[in-house]
Amino acid sequence: MLQKLYATGLTLLILFSACLPATALASTNLEQQLSNKNGIAHLLPSFRDTKGRFKVPDPTENAQAFLTAQQALTILIDQAESQALNRLNPTELEKRLATAPTRLPARWKRAEIAVRTDGRTQSCADDGPNCAAYGSDSFLNTLEPVEGLGESFYRSVNARGEAQALVYVQPTAVPSVSRLLLAAANSAGVWIPAAYALGPAGGEAFMIVNNCLDLAQETNGVLKPSAMLVAALQWVD
């Protein structure tokens, strides 16, 4: 009798589990997948090539597919943080936030769609098809930590040694995810939340997911009114 009840219960559990979303079965699995390139490729088909290897989607080939991939990844990151916040008590959360944030390496590639207006006409900020760029160097090159602030604040330095932008890295409830804030002096630009850096806990980030708003354009060292919106992915080869 006990064996029959056990078998019946096991059958019901299997049937019930099959109806649950994957996130309900393993709440920490999403966190682990966000920590490496293979995990991202496993999560989203748009982030893998024909051989199943990690590849950042190319907006010059298909702008809408790129935007969909970028938006889907952002929402999955939000979901992972929501799950972590629901799982952790305040003490556990405080301990997690006290750990070192994801480190930002110096060299990045970019994939982005950027549209600009001067208040009269709209134009593409990038020369490629669909107002897009893919595979060229990111404006974040090269990043370096601000002295005395550990690896929480960085500056983006150009070839002339000028610090054109600042980046603030905040740990989140997910060890593999850091939240980013950016302020650019040469364009009055900011990264619109949510912007994230992905990488192994305590290690170097391999991808940044961000949207940018610029409200000025530099001409001969002078900022003039302008506006630009950017949807972007930055990654490390």
pLDDT at 175: 92
What residues contact 103, with CB distance under 8 A and at least 6 apart?
Answer: 151, 199, 203, 204, 205
CB atoms within 10 A of CB 133: 25
Q: How far is CA 228 from CA 16, 21, 32, 125, in A?
A: 49, 38, 34, 8
Tens of pLDDT, residue by residue over 58-106, are 999 999 999 999 999 999 999 999 999 999 999 999 988 888 788 999 9
- What pTM did the predictor assign? 0.84
Which residue ranges of the chain lie beneath pLDDT 50? 1-26
Place of tokens 């990151």: 77
pLDDT at 18: 44
Place of tokens 């995990």: 39
Question: CA dihedral in degrees (138, 141, 145, 147; nearest 10)?
Answer: -140
Asked whether the beta carbons of 174 and 80 are under 8 A apart, the reply is yes
Q: How far is CA 155 from CA 142, 147, 150, 151, 225, in A?
A: 8, 10, 12, 11, 24
pLDDT at 96: 86
